[in-house]
Amino acid sequence: MNVSQQTTIKELQTTAENLRNRLAQLEENAALCMPCAELSLGPYPEDTPDVAQLLKHVKNGQQICCAKTAIFLNLVGISHVLRGCQNMT
């Protein structure tokens, strides 16, 4: 491995570490969090495309979705309404 390749690898490692740190900061600032499974409107990602826009992390083996946006609140509302309808049947 030459010096140029070593430098590139070091730069990529630094960039990856910076991105991890930024993601951790964003997750800390995202005030609303709940299990992603509770926001899902179906078994496939296409059923709830807005979930893809949320910040995600794993806590105690469960994927958690976090956001400060109206998208999150909208998903929470829709999922609760649908669950209520399912419980009535």
| Same domain? 45 vs 88 | yes
| Same domain? 2 vs 14 | yes
19-58, pLDDT tens digit by residue? Answer: 888 877 776 665 678 888 888 777 777 777 777 878 888 9
11: containing domain: 1-29
49-84, pLDDT tens digit by residue? Answer: 777 878 888 999 999 988 766 666 677 777 766 666
| Same domain? 40 vs 18 | no
| Same domain? 41 vs 54 | yes
| Same domain? 68 vs 89 | yes
Structural domains of the chain, count: 2
User: Hey, is 2 helix, strand or coil?
Assistant: coil
| Same domain? 58 vs 87 | yes
